[in-house]
Amino acid sequence: MVRMENATASSRYVVLLMLLVIILGFAEERAIYLVLMEGHPVVFREGTTHYETGKRIDPHRSGSNTHFDTLILVLVKLLTQGVIVVEKDTGAKLMTTYTPQYLGLPLGVWAQAGRGGKSNAGEGIVIGIVDTGMDPTHPSFTYDPQIPFALSNNSQFSGGGTCETGPLFPKGSCNGKIVSARYFAAGDQAIASLNASIDFLSPFDAVGHGSHVASTAAGNSGVPVVMNGFLYGYASGMSPRAGIAVYKAIYPSVATIADVVSAIDHATEDGVDILTLSIGPDEPPEDTITFLSVFDTFMVFAQRAGVFVVQAAGNHGPDPSSVVAYSPWAVAVAACNTDRSFPGRLILGDGHIINGIGLSAPTFRNGTLQFKLVLAQDAVKTTGRFLRTPEYVEECQHPEALDPIVVQGSIVISKFPAGFYNQTSTVTAIIDTAKALGFMGFVLVANPAYGDFIAQPIPLSVPGILIPKMADVQGRASIGEGRLAYFQGRAPIVSRFSSRGPNILDIDGDLADVLKPDPLSVLDSILTGNNFALLSGTSMAAPHVSGIAALIKQYNPSWTPSMIASSISTTASKFDNSGEIIMAEGPEIASIYPSTHFDIGAGLINPSLALDLGLVFSSDFNEYISFLCSLPNINKTMIKARTSQSCDNSLAFPTDLNLPSVTISALGGSRLVQRNIKNVATKPETYLCSVLQPEGVEVNVYPTWFRITSQGTQELYIKLNVTKPLTTFSFGEIVLTGSLDHIVRIPLSIYPVSY
């Protein structure tokens, strides 16, 4: 398949990576600025990379006395060289085995998309992973020469053969399953001194995040999951026969948007079919609207080139407007749990049981013998040359701080203060302390003020349990078996950390008329240092959607990225396994509430229905430009600078962008919204339109029914009238029910206000 935009397509950006080193007294402050310059992106022009590393600038030598003066001098010089936009690089963040069955893949979609089950699912499609790299020795990425990977005519990938090598990533690491590998470090090297022991200048993954993301999207099928000698089952990626293209842009010590957008640009140039971004900016841009940040600009050019882009929605939930994935040209994925749990038990001497989690073996004799409970702070040595900080006193991070006579053979209780939240303390260090001093086991007690880390099961090589809260207890206890999975209860439930809507337009929190998140997907939390580890976050939900998108692309090779996004959205479900509205976790531990579109987007992704649907909504690059040009109070010169496109056409309202949802952040009086749909089914079908009315709004759809031929199109007009102003959003949906059993859901999120 040829790329959707050819090399002559017009776009004017070259990004110069500029380093300003500001010396203030004895301190050195480094900052990176992304500078958009006149030129063509790599994917649309002949030539080399966008990125160059600028020179260090000493303000004293230049005659300047402040950071601002230095920047002005530099920009005056660069403006004579065709500089269009300058944006400060605020850094990038990570959006940190049962799931295929939960989503119905082995018996349904694998057979449908792959036409042969897991042996062909995703065959010929390439998924690009911009992340922390890849461990080529991981069993999820081994290559079977008996079943060679071959690109199909449906893939646009052209980057095969590019396999950069370096520490722990030798020649031959691109083995056929890994089809290409690159690493990007210019930004990181400019702003910080890399640690050679962990910041490997190669595509190798030193932390496991990128490997987990890749294995979730496209890991081999049937890989044994063994942790601490215990077989938990077998893992598979969503598209086990898809190829993986690696773009390492995140390092343990530092991460910059400069390296991330460079990786996105090369992935676009290589022609990956799907691009997975479980990383990205963790806050809105300071000096521009969210849709026009350098990061989002590069994503729209990727979409223009035919790349389906998947983002993690962010991990700042459950606060409203906490999503950090904003744009309509990328799919933002929220996270939920499944009905699988690994319950653990702390059994007290009086027979009471405290429930918790922790993938660990029981204490001695299968938990039937009990041992003394000791608070870590009560076991701290009275003398010793160590700091009296929580890390030493409460968190069991340093064995030298604890009295071995007190803790040996005991179950030690450690607290979960700020050290675990800011990652200066780790569960791994507790385990090391437990082994060094001979704990019989340990209990880690959560602090609700630090979020939901405690709610995810962690594989433990010594008996241990993580519990959400615990009254002061004394006496003796034992730890029960915690490695057995149980399948029960309502699911899915939106994870507490999963970022929520409504979407925002700028750093001031002005609302945007674009629904985010888009779909909801399960996270499958698989501890650093193991082949399989447990990592939670929307970064682990996003690759599920990437893998499913690869299946959809395989089954429907002519579909554009927006058509794939539409198929995922309009077929998603708002109901859980009990047939009720999906619930969402609230700010308090164990609190839940009925979800809205700002929690789940369109709902839980349903791969089977996404492959066999009737109608799709489609948008292209020009329509996205028209959308941008229709934003209220938009600076059209800024759009021209960021996208090289003039505002020759604008929509009547931003809500007229042809999305499979309708979001209006301030509806006063009435509005007519237009949508265009296409029948991608092989047969004509008759559809009946119905509306689940949002409170305070009357919604009518015209025509009320229609018959549409195969590959035919149909205009829909949606009339919205405010009947009662409210103080918040209300939610509803339009449902198009087809005579051949196709059902299309269009979420409505409306804020009715006084006219």
Active-site hit among 64, 215, 539, 730: 539
Indicate if 131 belongs to the active site. yes
Distance CA 643, CA 634 (A): 14
Quote the pLDDT of residue 639.
Answer: 93
Indicate if 209 belongs to the active site. yes
Quote the pLDDT of residue 422.
Answer: 72
Kindly tell me if the per-residue pLDDT of 456 is higher than 70. no
Give the pLDDT confidence of 411-432 residue by residue, as tens digits.
Answer: 999 987 777 767 778 888 899 9
- φ/ψ of 392, rounded to 5, equals -90, -35
Give the pLDDT confidence of 244-296 residue by residue, as tens digits.
Answer: 999 999 998 999 999 999 999 999 999 999 999 999 898 999 889 999 999 99
Burial class (CB in 10 A: 0-12, 13-18, 19+), 388: exposed
Indicate if 69 belongs to the active site. no
Runs of H (alpha helix) within 335-415 = 390-393, 404-407
Tell me the whole-structure pTM to 2 decimals.
0.85
The amino acid at 220: N
- DSSP assignment of 64-101, as one string? --SHHHHHHHHHHHHHTTTEEEEEE----EE----HHH
The alpha carbon dihedral of 562, 567, 568, 574 has a sign of positive
Active-site hit among 40, 50, 209, 398: 209
Distance CA 172, CA 159 (A): 16
Give the pLDDT confidence of 600-625 residue by residue, as tens digits.
Answer: 999 999 999 999 899 999 999 999 99
Of 97-106, 195-204, 440-449, which gets the smallest average pLDDT?
A: 97-106
Residue 560: C-alpha distances to residues 4, 156, 554, 564, 675 (Å): 9, 12, 12, 6, 17
Active-site hit among 11, 50, 89, 131: 131
Residue 209: C-alpha distances to residues 346, 526, 532 (Å): 31, 10, 11
> What are the structural domains, with CATH classification, of the chain?
13-88 (no CATH), 98-339+491-613 (3.40.50.200), 349-478 (3.50.30), 658-752 (2.60.40.2310)
- φ/ψ of 714, rounded to 5, equals -150, 130
Kindly tell me if the per-residue pLDDT of 534 is higher than 70. no
Quote the pLDDT of residue 451.
Answer: 53
Quote the pLDDT of residue 35.
Answer: 74
The residue with tokens 């979407």 is 503
